[in-house]
Amino acid sequence: MVSIRDLHQQLIQKDRSALEIAQAALQLTQALEPKLRSFLRLTEEHALAQAKRVDAKIAAGEEICLLAGIPMGIKDNLCTQGILTTCGSRILENFVPPFESTVTGRLTEAGAVMIGKTNLDEFAMGSSTENSAYQVTANPWDLARVPGGSSGGSAAAVAGGECVVSLGSDTGGSIRQPAALCGVVGLKPTYGLVSRYGLVAYASSLDQIGPFGRSVEDTAILLGAIAGHDPKDATSLKVDVPDYTQFLKPDLKGMKVGVILETFGEGLDEQVNQAVQGAIAQLKTLGAEIQEISCPRFRYGLPTYYIIAPSEASANLARYDGVKYGFRKPDADSLIDMYTQTRAEGFGVEVKRRIMIGTYVLSAGYYDAYYLKAQKARTLIKEDFEKAFESVDILVCPTTPTTAFKAGEKTDDPLSMYLSDLMTIPVNLAGLPGLSLPCGFDQQGLPIGLQIIGNVLREDQVLHAAYAYEQSTEWHEKQPSF
**Domain coordinates of the chain in residue numbers?**
4-248+404-436, 299-374
State the average pLDDT over residues 128-137.
97
Residue 323 has pLDDT above 80, yes or no: yes
The answer, yes or no, to whether residue 420 has pLDDT greater than 90, is no
Question: Angle at which helices 102-110 and 216-226 pack, to 10 degrees?
Answer: 110
Asked whether the beta carbons of 475 and 305 are under 8 A apart, the reply is no
Lowest mean pLDDT among 38-42, 72-76, 366-370, 389-393: 366-370
How many whole angstroms separate alpha carbon 468 and alpha carbon 452? Answer: 12
Listed residue (289, 119, 215) closest to 470, CA to CA: 215
Tell me if residue 132 is catalytic. no
Name the pLDDT band for 1 (thresholds 50, 70, 90): confident
- Whether the CB-CB separation of 160 and 185 falls below 8 Å is answered with no
> Given 75, 117, 188, 410, which residue is catalytic?
75
75 catalytic? Reply is yes
Contact 395, 261 (CB under 8 A): no
Catalytic residue status for 472 = no
Q: Which one of 38, 101, 132, 150 is the catalytic residue?
A: 150
Task: Give the model's confidence band at 240: pLDDT under 50 very low, under 70 low, under 90 confident, else very high.
Answer: very high
Rounded Cα distance between 351 and 155, Å, is 22
What digits encode the pLDDT tens for the residues 440-469?
999 999 999 999 999 999 999 999 999 999
Torsion sign across C-alpha atoms 442, 418, 426, 246: positive
Chain segment 149-165, per-residue pLDDT in tens:
999 999 999 999 999 99
pLDDT confidence bin for 52, thresholds 50/70/90: very high
What pLDDT, on a 0 to 100 scale, did the predictor assign at position 324? 86
What distance in Å separates the CA atoms of residue 358 and residue 51, rounded to the nearest whole number? 44
pLDDT in the model for residue 80: 98
Euclidean distance between CA atoms 425 and 397, whole angstroms: 13
Considering 174, 215, 311, 420, which one is annotated as catalytic?
174
Closest among 229, 232, 231, 188 to 211, alpha carbons compared: 188
pTM for the model stands at 0.97
Percentage of residues of the chain with pLDDT beyond 90:
93
Task: Domain 4-248+404-436: give its CATH code.
Answer: 3.90.1300.10
CB-based contact 434:449 (threshold 8 Å): no
pLDDT tier, 474 (very low <50, low <70, confident <90, very high otherwise):
very high
